[in-house]
Amino acid sequence: MSLRIALLGTLAFHGPASGYELAKRFDASVNYVWQAKHSQIYPELAKMVQTGAVTVEDAGGGRGRKVYTVTDSGRDEIAHWAGAEDPYRSIRNGSALRGFLVTLLPPDEAAAAMRAEEARHSLALAGLLILEKEVDARTAPDSPPFGEYALDLGLRTTRMLQQWAADTAEDLERRAAAGEAAQ
């Protein structure tokens, strides 16, 4: 996925926006799954203007405020990306890497590392549950809000990762206790 698609989607859903407004909307939604800094957003907007994915209009005022709007070409990009077959997705998962590397630690240290991993996922889950309540409070009953399905995926994934970390820590604790008993 690219920042371009994430920005196009945010603009398409929320409608025309200044770069600042778009960055704020991005921070409150897509940034949970595709992180970008404001310093990355503005150059990407300029590229999207050059390629015709968005238009830009001077909104007037002393600060030179510009308003960006998705074009039909930009909407076509979103549709192509969302519906395209993607046989390979590069995945970087710090939790999975920890699952590989934690076995290099002594069992008691490995168990502690996995308890810390469990705590990180518990904290992330708590944040997602707060976000879910906020989304539910402002959702019209007849249409899903922007990001509802991504939030559902985040909740399910985070719960699974939390349980995985707890199960792994429990196994490592059992192994540590068995190792101590054998000595």
- The answer to whether residue 86 scores a pLDDT higher than 80 is no
% of the chain at pLDDT higher than 90: 54
DSSP letter, residue 53: S
pTM above 0.85, yes or no: no
In this structure, what token pair is assigned to residue 58? 């001077």
Q: What is the pLDDT of residue 158?
A: 94
Q: Are strands 65-70 and 17-18 parallel, antiparallel or unpaired?
A: antiparallel
Supply φ then ψ for residue 116, to 5 degrees.
Answer: -65, -40
Q: What is the pLDDT of residue 140?
A: 65
Residue of higher predicted confidence among 165 and 28? 165
In this structure, what token pair is assigned to residue 171? 């196994």
- Give SS3 for 17: strand
Task: Classify residue 65 as left (phi > 0), alpha (psi -120 to 50) or beta.
Answer: beta
**Cβ–Cβ under 8 Å, residues 36 and 19:** no
Location of structure tokens 């070409």: 73
Location of structure tokens 């407004």: 21
Amino acid at 58: D
Q: How confident is the model at residue 182 (pLDDT cuts 50, 70, 90)?
A: low
152-158 CB contacts, 8 Å cutoff, 24+ apart: 154/32, 154/33, 154/128, 155/125, 155/128, 155/129, 158/121, 158/124, 158/125, 158/128
- The answer to whether residue 156 scores a pLDDT higher than 60 is yes
Per-residue DSSP letters for 74-114?
A: HHHHHHHHHHS--S------HHHHHHHHGGGS-HHHHHHHH
